[in-house]
Amino acid sequence: MKWLGLIFNGLLLFFFSYASHCGEIEVLSNLTRAVKIALVSDVHINRGTNQALYQYNYEKVIEQVNSAGVDFIVVAGDLTEDGTAVEYADFKRLTKRFNSPVRVVPGNHDIGNKKIGKNKNEITFKRLIDFHQKIGKSWFADEVYGVRLIGANSPLFGSGLGKEKTMWQFLDNELGKKSDKPVLFFLHHPLFQKKPEEKGGEYWNLEPAQRFRLFGLFQQAGVSAVFSAHLHKPLTNNYNNVLYYTTHPVAFGLPKGKQKPGWTLITISNTGIKLNQYFIKSTLKQEDKTAINLQNDDRNN
């Protein structure tokens, strides 16, 4: 597999939304057609102060995704603010508006933070089971027009819960041998931010033990790209011929007032993987301000 550098340019799409074409990567494949996947994340559906704003943003993103005519949608975690029954019900009701099949994985807001012994609100068995009951399974494998999509539950990594073992067995099985098709991997947490070997014990990345186990599986299967969220701003890395891309969020961007919300269109064809960032302009100005301030107060991403 040969990789080219990222190519950046801009493109005005239509009023109230725009996209920037932010990357093109060569990947060897034998696809019969280009496959379009929407990467949507950090929706943070809630019944609190930000209910109207975040719902509005999600509705706008859904409209854009439907206009883009995608084949498949992945919502990469933090579907809700607190993983309550009513939030899950609201999320499901809105998510039905997508015109294409949707898969989701949970984020730390849905089922709890990764377990490192010092995070507040760490993952619990009850919240995990709640997710499985109310939303569905928290990992997946799909094939869309010859492209394999694998999704994992990243807060579960390192938790020691019984379901973690089940998920590793699933991942070992799906990624255990070289794939003759392009493989894309999805999860909420980015594996790393600055360096593949960076330390864990913090909020934003995956712990090194699980990160390096995944690196090994990605090499075995020939994974082309890994897509994540959680940072509320975009990030692009390359390591071992794998693209690591983090999307900007639906609910609110960081830093406050600077990062616009939106989603990413992934197009995979025989010429490579292309990423287009789409943005929404919220009309709920005052609430937007409130939301960002609240967010800043409790680092509640």
Shortest Å distance, C-beta 44 to Zn ion? 9
Return phi, psi of residue 43, to 5°. -80, -35
Shortest Å distance, C-beta 103 to Zn ion? 17
Considering the complex, state which of residue 21 and residue 233 has its C-beta at the smaller distance from Zn ion: 233
Residue 218 to residue 214: CA distance in whole angstroms: 6
Considering the complex, state which of residue 78 and residue 90 has its C-beta at the smaller distance from Zn ion: 78
Instruction: Judge whether 110 and 78 are in contact, CB under 8 Å.
Output: yes
Instruction: Judge whether 22 and 8 are in contact, CB under 8 Å.
Output: yes
Instruction: Judge whether 157 and 168 are in contact, CB under 8 Å.
Output: no
Residue 8 to residue 245: CA distance in whole angstroms: 14
Instruction: Judge whether 83 and 111 are in contact, CB under 8 Å.
Output: yes
Considering the complex, state which of residue 17 and residue 247 has its C-beta at the smaller distance from Zn ion: 247
Shortest Å distance, C-beta 247 to Zn ion? 12
Shortest Å distance, C-beta 228 to Zn ion? 10
Shortest Å distance, C-beta 301 to Zn ion? 5
Residue 89 to residue 130: CA distance in whole angstroms: 12
Shortest Å distance, C-beta 109 to Zn ion? 6
Kindly give the interhelix angle for 85-95 and 51-68, rounded to the nearest 10 degrees.
30
Considering the complex, state which of residue 29 and residue 41 has its C-beta at the smaller distance from Zn ion: 41
Select from 17, 13, 103, 37 the least CA-distant residue to 275.
Answer: 37
Considering the complex, state which of residue 60 and residue 230 has its C-beta at the smaller distance from Zn ion: 230
Considering the complex, state which of residue 95 and residue 154 has its C-beta at the smaller distance from Zn ion: 154
Considering the complex, state which of residue 144 and residue 214 has its C-beta at the smaller distance from Zn ion: 214
Nearest residue (beta carbon) to Zn ion: 230
Instruction: Judge whether 236 and 23 are in contact, CB under 8 Å.
Output: yes
Shortest Å distance, C-beta 77 to Zn ion? 6
Beta carbons within 10 angstroms of residue 59's beta carbon: 14
Shortest Å distance, C-beta 110 to Zn ion? 9
Beta carbons within 10 angstroms of residue 221's beta carbon: 20
Residue 72 to residue 179: CA distance in whole angstroms: 20
Residue with tokens 């719902």: 55
Q: Which two tokens stand for residue 45?
A: 């559906």
Which residues of the chain form contacts with Zn ion (CB under 5 A)?
78, 107-108, 230
Considering the complex, state which of residue 115 and residue 230 has its C-beta at the smaller distance from Zn ion: 230
Which residues are CB-neighbours of 184 under 8 A, at least 6 positions away?
Answer: 37, 147, 148, 149, 150, 223, 224, 225, 226, 227, 266, 268
